[in-house]
Amino acid sequence: MKQKTSKQSNLPKRIIIALAAIAVIAVIAFGVTTAIVRSQIPVFDDGSELSVIELTTNGGVSYEWNYEFENSDIAEIADKTSNVRDPEVDGGVVDLRYVIKGKKPGKTKLIFRYGSFIDGRIEETRNYLIEVNEKLEVRVTEQN
């Protein structure tokens, strides 16, 4: 009867340890990613994650983005943040981020208008379709 060498007897243990390590890494990687996506952006049943609208403007100009829902009973702007790309530059680009929150299931349109608050002139319009499912998860589709 042959005796197993230490290399042969350790091989199954090494394989098990390697598989366990891969499984732990996979759980951590996918679990953390899913948690981040789900906590920041609601995910629709089909996997889409588009409940955020991002627009840009320039600081120090007489233009601003205004929005209007066709039916404000369906959805609302839950959060608006702005980030100046380069604070050292006067009149630099400002990124605006609007998070849409579902209030009840349905569809509505959301219209953003970029215009002058001095003379009311509209320079740009963006149209979005907002869909809210039964779980109040939101999908945003640009209609331009």
Domain ranges of the chain: 1-40, 52-142
**pTM for the complete prediction?**
0.64
Strand ranges (E), 7-144: 52-58, 63-69, 75-84, 93-102, 106-116, 122-132, 138-142
Give which of 59, 39, 58 is closest to 49, Cα–Cα. 39
pLDDT for residue 124 = 96
Residue 35 has pLDDT above 50, yes or no: no
**CATH code at 52-142:** 2.60.40.2020
pLDDT at 144 over 70: yes
